């Protein structure tokens, strides 16, 4: 029986998902890469970044490698390009295991999460213009209990994941929670109803 963190098991979980796309309707299309490293013979993990404080959009926030789609790109192209630009990790489309549901952000983006098996790729080399800190999160550490908050500005619950000694918020928390549920636990779970904290609305 395959480990729940093996490429085969993650691929099987993703194939069960009938993903939900979100029309742009004036928002900008973006993609993020959930890039899984085989761990060099150790435990598989994924890469999470903290954006530099000088960035114009969402400075200092936790994020997956990603950004808006360039002219002529689809979500997979953009996620793989951003993975290379931010972390120096090269992967082609044969490494893509699947896509999760789109997530519409308060700041005007529709994010498509792309799951990539980076395998035994060389260690990442973060781009200092974009990445202040890089974390490798073992997949077992995603098995945390989410926190749900209520805020006066919205009737939707704000999701937080306690990771790397901090609280990671949506959209990243929502994307990682769906990845855990769908890819690791093989449970069809939707996350579009989860809210972002007000500081991420801009």
Contacts of 180 (CB under 8 A, 6+ apart): 142, 143
Are 68 and 81 in contact, with CB atoms under 8 Å apart?
no
CA distances from 67 to 34, 105, 111, 139 (A): 13, 13, 8, 23
Mean pLDDT computed over 49-70 = 85
Distance from C-alpha of 69 to C-alpha of 81, rounded to nearest angstrom:
10
- Return mean pLDDT, the chain: 94
Distance from C-alpha of 162 to C-alpha of 118, rounded to nearest angstrom:
24
CATH number of 7-200: 3.90.79.10
* Closest of 170, 161, 162, 167 to residue 194, by C-alpha: 170
pLDDT at 122 (0 to 100): 86
Residue-wise pLDDT tens digits, 4-16: 899 999 999 999 9
Q: What is the pTM of this model?
A: 0.95
Mean pLDDT computed over 151-173 = 96
Q: Residue 57 pLDDT > 80, yes or no? A: no
Mean pLDDT computed over 11-33 = 97
Mean pLDDT computed over 120-143 = 94
């Amino acid at each position: 029986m395959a480990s729940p963190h093996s490429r085969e098991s993650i691929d099987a979980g993703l194939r069960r998902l009938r993903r939900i796309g979100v029309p742009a309707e004036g928002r900008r299309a973006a993609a993020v890469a959930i890039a899984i490293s085989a761990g060099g013979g150790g435990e598989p993990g994924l890469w999470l970044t903290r954006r530099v404080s000088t960035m114009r959009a969402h400075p200092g926030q936790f994020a997956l490698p990603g950004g808006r789609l360039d002219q002529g790109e689809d979500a997979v192209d953009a996620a793989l390009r951003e993975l290379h630009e931010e972390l120096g990790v090269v992967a082609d489309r044969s490494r893509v295991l699947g896509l999760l549901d789109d997530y519409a952000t308060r700041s005007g983006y529709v994010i498509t999460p792309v799951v990539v098996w980076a395998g035994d790729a060389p260690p990442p080399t973060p781009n200092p213009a974009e990445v202040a800190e890089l974390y490798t999160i073992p997949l077992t550490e995603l098995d945390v209990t989410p926190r749900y908050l209520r805020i006066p500005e919205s009737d939707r619950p704000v999701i937080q994941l306690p990771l790397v000694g901090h609280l990671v918020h949506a959209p990243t928390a929502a994307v990682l929670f769906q990845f855990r549920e769908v890819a690791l636990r093989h449970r069809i779970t939707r996350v579009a109803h989860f809210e972002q904290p007000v500081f991420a609305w801009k």
